[in-house]
Amino acid sequence: MPSEKKQILVVEDEVVIGADIQNQLEGLGYSVPVVAASGPEAIRAARQQPCDLVLMDIRLRGEMDGIETAEILKSELDIPVIYVTAYADWETVQRAKLTGPHGYIMKPLREAEVRSAVEIALHRHELETNLRINEAWLSNILRNIGEAVMVTDANGEVELLNPVAEDLTGWLAEDAHGRPACEVLPLLDEATGQQAAHPVLRLLARERGAEREGQSYLLAARDRAHMPVEVRCFENRAGNYLLGTIVVFRDLIARRAMEQRLRQADTMAAIGRLSRGLAHDFNNQLTVMLGYARVLCENLTGRSLKDAEGVRKAAEVAASMTRQLVSMSREEAAHPEPLDLNDLVREMQGMIAHTLGKGHELVLDLAPQLGRIRADRDQLKRVLVNLTFNACDAMPRGGVMKIETVEIVVPESDGTGTQPAGRYVQLRLSDSGDGMNEKTLAHIFEPFFTTKSRGTGTGLGLAVVHGIITQHRGCITVASEENQGTTFTILLPVLA
């Protein structure tokens, strides 16, 4: 006796036979609420009252036979069907097979055959339902996972690409299906740029060491520049049977950029520790030097006065550098307060325009209703001034400097890991100047590094900017190309 009373719909146009089937099923412990005499009646009954299985006579009187009825019940309501027939010609059997029936019972019906057919059909439908659920789970996981996934068969031909893999390789999953893995995921040796031994082929050939993590390659994707990727390759097995491989890969550009920012932060921390040890003693000596220089300037004339003034100016530059070192070491007192960044930019607008000078244009694009941040007003002013000086140096023949603000949301799924998820104010300063190459960009925030062609400046300005933004739990990035200008992007967290 079944543990639960399953609902079975009987479709039979012979009243006596329909009643006999109903009696047999109920005697076996099933519920048969309706015996339908036609296809339309069966469809109406199934829509009104859910059922677990249909026993369908293939030959029904009327315009709709049992096969047509079964197609609708399966496609619309996903109800399994067992065909009941006394005989069927070859053409009818072939039509019936296309509907994916869960069994056949020949008339006249015998109780043992009915029991077996019904139990097998119900069990098979349960397995198919669970399989579809598992496939849906797997499909959703593959679609939403943050890394690229490629699945191949035992011949190394692509079976599946998830959306991230489609984006990185430039292949659509349906176009890639059946193609060799080395065609869809062409890999080059990162050091030489030559074609690399493909991890999928190495793994299928059971080459020693092929299945390991973290191998770096250059991905020669279609219609785009080569990009560094990290590739992991694993066997896909069912017991002792090798189904193929699973390849997981990810773009290393964002990760390496994050590592560079972490190294920059470590460098700034090291400079801070060093400056803490030097700033106090250095300031004492500079105070003495400046005092003597002022006395000399008051008592000398002519050539000697010019030399003394040169000494005084050099000491003042050194004092300025010391103040910046103190700022980087966080010994300088900070006074954070709730700020509207738009108000601060407007407050600095006149000074920035004056600093840019003639031949330069200042453009503001400030988003309305910007969230407030918690920051030190004077330190952020210093950030704006230093970035303005940087723009001036990049535009010696004039140009445009644009300052933009907008509020953005960093989602949990952000793959770069540069900032925690949440709301941020984005401050973007761009210029139309000479720009920088990749080699210069790699060192832009390093202390004492300067991009100034005239060789002036202390080289601490952008390092100080980086330190201030980091102290405010924000981040700063830079994008630039030669003769295409430079853009600094700053993110600062919005107050809750």
Residues 9/69, Cβ–Cβ less than 8 Å: no
> Reduced to 3 states, what is the DSSP secondary structure of residue 310?
helix
Residues 4-14: what's their mean pLDDT? 83
For the cut 50, the answer to whether the pLDDT of residue 104 exceeds it is yes
Q: Is 123's pLDDT higher than 80?
A: yes
Q: Identify the pLDDT of residue 457.
A: 39
The confidence score (pLDDT) of residue 269 equals 66
Burial of 318 (0-12, 13-18, 19+ CB in 10 A): middle
Give the residue ranges of DSSP H helices in 101-198. Answer: 111-144, 163-169, 173-176, 181-184
List, for residues 395-448, the tens digit of each pLDDT value.
888 899 999 999 999 886 544 456 778 899 999 999 998 888 888 887 777 765
Whether residue 2 is predicted with pLDDT greater than 50 in this model: the reply is no
CATH number at 145-251 = 3.30.450.20
Confidence of residue 4 (pLDDT cuts 50, 70, 90): low
Per-residue pLDDT at 1: 44
**Same fold yes or no, 145-251 and 334-496:** no
Domain ranges of the chain: 8-140, 145-251, 261-332, 334-496
Chain centroid, CA 208 distance in Å: 33
CATH superfamily of 334-496: Histidine kinase-like ATPase, C-terminal domain (3.30.565.10)
Instruction: Indicate the residue type of 271.
Output: I
pLDDT over 60 at 330, yes or no: no
What does the pLDDT look like over 361-373, one tens digit per residue?
999 999 988 999 9
**Secondary-structure class of domain 8-140 per CATH:** alpha beta
State the average pLDDT for the chain: 81
Residue with tokens 């699945």: 151
Q: How confident is the model at residue 65 (pLDDT cuts 50, 70, 90)?
A: confident
> Is the model's pLDDT at 81 over the cut of 70?
yes
> Is pLDDT at 63 greater than 60 in this prediction?
yes
Q: How many angstroms separate the CA atoms of 143 and 137, rounded?
A: 10
Residue 83's contacts (CB-CB under 8 Å, 6 or more residues apart) are: 56, 57, 58, 66, 70, 96, 101, 103, 104, 105
Residue that is written with structure tokens 């108000």 in the block: 343
Highest mean pLDDT among 199-213, 303-317, 447-461: 303-317
CA distances from 337 to 130, 376, 379 (A): 57, 6, 12
| Cα separation, 248 vs 464, whole angstroms | 40
Torsion angle (degrees, nearest 10) of CA 181, 245, 142, 175? 30
268 band by pLDDT with thresholds 50, 70 and 90: low
Phi then psi for residue 110, to 5 deg, are -115, 140
Q: pLDDT (tens digit, 9 = 90+) per residue, 35-48?
A: 888 888 888 888 88
